[in-house]
Amino acid sequence: MEFYLKHQQVILRSVGVFLLLIGFVIHFWTIPKEGLSKNERAAANLARMEASVAGSSSSAKQQKKPDTSKFLKELKNTQAKQAEYLTIIMMLLGGGALGYSFIRKKEED
């Protein structure tokens, strides 16, 4: 405890800068890029191939697969919101710690 009290400003400034830096890095890492990802492109190609195979085959009835696209969209949206909230919280905590380290303390003698 004595070490913390002695080096409180340095510790708070270091933690504040670290949290701000990590918050910005995670925020810009998770921003969606333009265009389709490799997974989305592969899923589109697979759907196109399945449609062409289903159209060309005139065999017996095929079982219909359950539609999971709505679930996947909701999952991706939820994950994006969680990442955004996490980065906002990290940046607020970092800014708070950094700002708090610059507040002058009254020295009691």
Q: Is residue 87 part of a domain?
A: yes
Q: Is residue 48 part of a domain?
A: no
User: What pLDDT, on a 0 to 100 scale, did the predictor assign at position 35?
Assistant: 65
Number of domains in the chain: 1
Q: Is residue 93 part of a domain?
A: yes
> What does the block give as tokens for 18?
């670290």
- The boundaries of the domain holding residue 85 are 23-32+68-103
Q: Is residue 5 part of a domain?
A: no
C-alpha distances out from residue 48 to 44, 51, 72, Å: 6, 5, 19
Question: Can you tell me which residue has the tokens 């990290």?
Answer: 90
Nearest to 24 by CA among 91, 98, 95: 91
Q: Is residue 27 part of a domain?
A: yes
Q: Is residue 109 part of a domain?
A: no
Q: Is residue 95 part of a domain?
A: yes
pTM of the model: 0.57
When pLDDT is cut at 50, 70 and 90, the band that residue 32 belongs to is: low
Indicate if the pLDDT at residue 94 is higher than 50. Answer: yes
